[in-house]
Chains A and B, each alone.
Chain A
Amino acid sequence: MNAYGRQLFTALRFLLCTTVVLGLLYPALVFGLGQLIAPAQANGSIVSVDGKAAGSSLLAQPVTGEEFFYPRPSAVAWDAGSSSASNLGPNQPALMEAIETNRAEVAAREKVTPGTIPLDALTASGSGLDPQISVAYAQLQRPRVARATGLGESTVSELIRANTNNALLGFLGQPSVNTTTLNAALLQARTNP
């Protein structure tokens, strides 16, 4: 074998050995430590309803009924198997059309004037799976949800507050409402008033 052939053979053996360490042992160690230290998070921060796993609190869930809070629009229809953004450019007519369509839809659903709808209700998130909405969008949906669920507006307000993540330490993120945990809490409140 000449020098080049020997180099390539060395490279191949080196790659296989490091793959065992970095591709097998390392993720296995992280898996083990993760299950030990923070199993709930490592397994997907699952919410449960009546003791049954009902999706992840970190992921948006598709809503059809009147009795739930809607998450932000999604370019992938909240399909957790194919996360994606719309990737529409800021001045593309298609984006303006999508925003107008969303605006009309939300206005009809919430029975409000189109001009009062917050931006996050009109725009698709980066992942298509963002469960968080602005506090303003949650407030916009509150009357409808209160009506449809028969829970009083004050109860729903209380649940919104309980599922609002404020900016951590005042500078990380922005106040937002987790629709997935909020909807789970709504369901809980209806079954066990």
Chain B
Amino acid sequence: MDYFGAGGTGAAGVPARGPHPAREVVNAAMELNAFALATQIAVLIVALGALHQPLGKYLAATFSSHKHLAVERGLYRLSGVDPQADQHWKVYLRSLLAFSVVSIVVLFLFQLLQGVLPFNQGLGSVDPWVAMNTAVSFVTNTNWQTYAPETTLGFGVQMLGLAVQNFLSAAVGLAVVVALIRGLVRAQTSNLGNFWVDLTRGALRVLLPISIIGALVLIITGVVQNWGGTDIHTLVTGAQQTVPGGPVASQEVIKLLGTNGGGYFNANSAHPFENPNALSNLFEVFLILLIPFSLPAMYGRMVGDKRQGYTLLSVMAAFWIISTALMGWALAAFAGTGTSLGEGLEQRFGANGTALFATATTLTSTGAVNAAHDSLPPLAGGLAMVNMMLGEIAPGGVGSGLYGLLVLSVVAVFIGGLMVGRTPEMLGKKVGAAQMKLVAIYILVTPTLVLLGTAITVSIPALAAAAPAEGPHGFSEVLYAFTSAANNNGSAFGGITSSGPALATMLALAMFFGRFLPIALVLALAGSFAKQRKIPNTAGTLATHGPLFAVLLGAVVLILTALTYFPALALGPAAEGLLK
């Protein structure tokens, strides 16, 4: 709490105590300031509270409009898209998959051919395994980075390849959730809208304008945007240093706004050129949360009942606030007892800035980091994993957070229906055997990928060697990697080496199926809802709004996660937290 005492008065710190001096915190420099953390949360609540309804209204209008902008009409003509076509859910899905597969292939080739393409800063062809992993990673909105950007990628691949996918993969997420909502709203049709139109509007009308404004704010705080990066400076201290540069701010903003997370630099948002100070840090957390927290408002408007949106928003917000507070506690409570809080943290953010960022990035599909998560105290690192294991629904990734929470709402409706002995309904649509099959598979996909991937890796010594840390920490590094990949998060316990063929491939598969299997199931669910006629509400219908449903939904989220992942968490971070 009191870092002013230690810092401001110039006290040199208190003497070390205990058996091992390094295991004691000797200075309050990195101590958590609970007041500062609470104030930053309050600022975010005020800002997001002011913006989520206007932005939600804008989003709903954008995806409901029948008008096309001139630039969009040109784009449709050049690509051979018929924007008037209303697509069957299977055609919608096929378009989405075609676009994603083409994006992966193009991004892969772009990296392989980097040496002969312009803007490569003298860097050559990327290792094919790394290129494959990276292509899948950015198209699936994961942004797992098995490469060090500074020494691997020039401006061209970063700007024309990765940053473009940062926009488009986020717009894919928006398209899917819009299609699911249309499935709930429409009746007696199998058509869900037009994928290309939804993709275009998400990228050009939503993400692009906010990115332009956000990039300028970031530049003012100190994020760079230039075409340099080659000047060797003779420093103040007489040493030599090449000051890096590049189109950073334009990529930084969409990295956060699109909940992508792939850093322009290796250190990601811990790098001073990506995140120069505590103000930029708070703004970056705001960017991460902005769209995911506004989507419930869009949902409420599109289904014609704002209460539906507020209920989902309250569940998201409750998890976010509790988890951020827990992260602050996990950082502070264990700083003096077995770990050295300070390693991997940046002085300018302090522990509270790290708690805020680490929580937002793992409760969404972002995965950007402003500290080395691998060096966090065990329970803080474990909490980051739990956040991802919740399914990234609080508030979750752009689009993926809301469709994840809507699928869990179907589970809650089903369980509620069983309890009162009525056929469960979701917004006037029956939840029958066909729907529950899709939902059940959806729920099993991610845990299967996480636990199978982790089990295979730790069982084969050659693979397990990628995480050299001894004891439970090595296990945590592997568990974190597959949790992050299958949930399309992208943050890492950086001690793991995932650039080898085996792990690069396994993680790429986890990212691919962790993204597109749930999307296919969501669109199938949307199609099956759209086909039904709407059943009028009766007095016996379980309401999907209000505190009762919010509590039921929150319980479903917790129970599903706890039952699935508890054994794995016990072997990793929990065991490590008990070690002294």
Residues of A within 8 A of B (CB): 3-4, 6-15, 17-19, 21-24, 26-27, 29-31, 33-35, 37-38, 41-47, 49, 52-56, 58-59, 61-65, 68, 72, 78-92, 95-96, 99-100, 103, 112-120, 122-137, 139-140, 165, 167-168, 170-176, 180, 183-184, 187
Contact = CB atoms under 8 A, between A and B. Distances in A.
Given A15-B106, A43-B226, A7 B94 contact: yes
B567 interface: no
A118 B338 contact: no
A96 B23 contact: yes
A113 B26 CA distance: 12
A3 B270 CA distance: 46
Could you say which of A7, A35, A89 has the most chain B C-beta atoms within 10 Å of its C-beta? A89
B277 interface: yes
Interface string B212-224: 1001100111111
B211 interface: yes
B90 to A, nearest CB: 11
A10 B226 CA distance: 34
B375 A134 contact: no
Given A19-B160, A44-B228, A134-B7, A174 B221 contact: no
A120 B30 CA distance: 8
A10 B348 contact: no
Contact of B98 (A10, A88, A123, A140): A10
A123 B346 CA distance: 10
Given A90-B375, A100-B22, A171 B36 contact: yes
B556 interface: no
B4 interface: yes
Q: Which 4 A-B pairs have the closest CB atoms?
A: A173-B278, A126-B270, A85-B372, A118-B27
Nearest to B155: A27
B103 A87 contact: no
B455 to A, nearest CB: 21
Given A88-B375, A116-B13, A119-B342, A83 B79 contact: no
B495 A89 contact: yes
Given A4-B98, A103-B21, A174-B3, A58 B222 contact: yes
B345 A84 contact: no
A83 B348 contact: no
B267 A83 contact: yes
Contact of B231 (A35, A53, A118): A53
Contacts of A72: 347
B339 interface: yes
A129 B340 contact: no
B276 interface: yes
Nearest to B103: A15
Contacts of A9: 80
A115 B81 CA distance: 69
A71 to B, nearest CB: 9
A88 B241 CA distance: 26
A182 to B, nearest CB: 9
13 contacts: A13-B80, A23-B164, A24-B160, A54-B234, A82-B266, A85-B374, A91-B339, A132-B347, A133-B347, A136-B11, A172-B278, A176-B347, A183-B236
A18 B75 contact: yes
Contacts of A135: 7-8, 10
A87 B493 contact: yes
Interface stretch (B52-60, B126-134, B244-252, B481-489): B244-252
Contacts of A174: 3, 7, 29, 33, 36, 278, 347-348, 350
B464 to A, nearest CB: 15
B243 A124 contact: no
B160 A23 contact: yes
A133 to B, nearest CB: 6
B289 interface: no
B159 interface: yes
Nearest to B345: A126
Given A115-B26, A173-B349, A34 B219 contact: yes
Nearest to A6: B80
Could you say which of B22, B220, B353, B376 has the most chain A C-beta atoms within 10 Å of its C-beta? B22
Contacts of A68: 236-237
A139 B10 contact: yes
A90 B233 CA distance: 35
Contacts of A58: 222, 272-273, 276
Given A23-B159, A115-B15, 7 more contacts: A44-B224, A84-B266, A88-B375, A117-B13, A118-B13, A130-B347, A173-B281
B98 A41 contact: no
B216 A175 contact: no
B319 interface: no
Contacts of A22: 163-164, 167-168, 203, 208
B266 A83 contact: yes
B36 A95 contact: no
B235 interface: yes
Nearest to A49: B236
Nearest to B494: A87
A7 to B, nearest CB: 4
B140 to A, nearest CB: 15
Interface in B266-286: 266-267, 270-273, 276-279, 281-282
Interface in B153-186: 159-161, 163-164, 167-168
A46 B234 CA distance: 12
Interface in B26-47: 26-27, 29-30, 33, 35-36, 39-40
